């Protein structure tokens, strides 16, 4: 699929079919993410690939408001973790890598969506990040940005359209 077609078709897919995502597809997504640009080429990222159903279920409770619920049905959750001291701009570094994962999933015919963990909270007021770190044994000095849920698409969404381009938000030469 042409790159711009991938960009057009990428939507947040939160319902998944039961079939598992082939390991080869997960590997291709991860290999793409490692090619993402990062500040000073520091690549501060670590990826935790979670397939265990019970763990996915527990991770789906990482934040209030149901924003992580789709993980219950996902085949894989890829948790994006940064070594904090390796980059002062790890949020940006990991966000780019996360975007590579999302676009790769679309290119491979998979559904995916971003679950924000950093700066989010659970129903009981606990930090989502601490909850995920505890569950997955992530050591001190490492931060959790997000989880990318991946699976065979269980819902169909319209691709993005040209009407989403807003000329008023594009400025030529200066504001
Ligand atoms: C930084 C960021 C955080 C997001 N957090 C969540 C989330 O926690 N749960 C969720 O279901 N979707 C989340 N999303 C997905 C957005 O809701 C989604 O991208 C947006 O509504 C546009 O829809 P689309 O992805 O289908 O184009 C997040 C996206 C970004 C970029």
Q: Is residue 146 part of a domain?
A: yes
For residue 19, how far is its CA from the centre of ligand 1 (angstroms)?
23
Q: Is residue 173 part of a domain?
A: no
Structure-block tokens of residue 129: 């990040």
Residue range of the domain that includes 95: 3-155
Q: Is residue 164 part of a domain?
A: no
Q: Is residue 23 part of a domain?
A: yes
Q: Is residue 171 part of a domain?
A: no
CATH number of 78's domain:
3.40.109.10
Measured by CA distance, the residue closest to atom 20 of ligand 1 is 12
- Looking at the structure of the chain, the number of domains it has is 1
CA-wise closest residue to 118 among 150, 93, 66, 81: 81
Q: Which of 6, 110, 114 to mutate to test the pocket of ligand 1 (most atoms within 8 A of CB)?
A: 114
Q: Are 97 and 82 in contact (CB under 8 A)?
A: no
Measured by CA distance, the residue closest to atom 27 of ligand 1 is 11
Q: Are 26 and 112 in contact (CB under 8 A)?
A: no
Q: Is residue 168 part of a domain?
A: no
Tell me the pLDDT tens digit for each residue of 66-114: 999 999 999 999 999 999 999 999 999 999 999 999 999 999 999 999 9
**What is the overall mean pLDDT for the chain?**
98
Mean pLDDT, residues 128-147 taken together: 98
Measured by CA distance, the residue closest to atom 6 of ligand 1 is 115
Tell me the pLDDT tens digit for each residue of 5-23: 999 999 999 999 999 999 9
Residues flanking ligand 1, CB < 6 Å: 11-12, 14, 67, 113-116
pTM for the model stands at 0.98
């Amino acid at each position: 699929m042409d790159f711009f077609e991938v960009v057009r078709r990428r939507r947040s897919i939160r319902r998944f079919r039961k079939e598992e995502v082939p390991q080869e597809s997960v590997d291709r997504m991860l290999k793409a993410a490692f090619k993402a640009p990062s500040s000073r080429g520091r690549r501060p990222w670590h990826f935790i690939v979670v397939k265990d159903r019970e763990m996915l279920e527990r991770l789906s409770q990482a934040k209030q408001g149901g924003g992580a619920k789709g993980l219950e049905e996902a085949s894989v959750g890829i948790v994006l973790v940064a070594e904090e001291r390796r980059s002062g701009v790890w949020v940006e570094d990991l966000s780019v890598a996360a975007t590579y994962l999302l676009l790769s999933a679309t290119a491979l015919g998979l559904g995916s969506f971003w679950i924000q963990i950093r700066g989010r909270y659970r129903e009981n007021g606990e930090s989502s990040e601490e909850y995920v770190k505890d569950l997955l044994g992530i050591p001190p000095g490492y931060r959790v940005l997000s989880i990318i849920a991946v699976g065979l698409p269980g819902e169909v969404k319209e691709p993005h359209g040209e009407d989403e381009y807003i000329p008023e938000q594009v400025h030529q030469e200066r504001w």
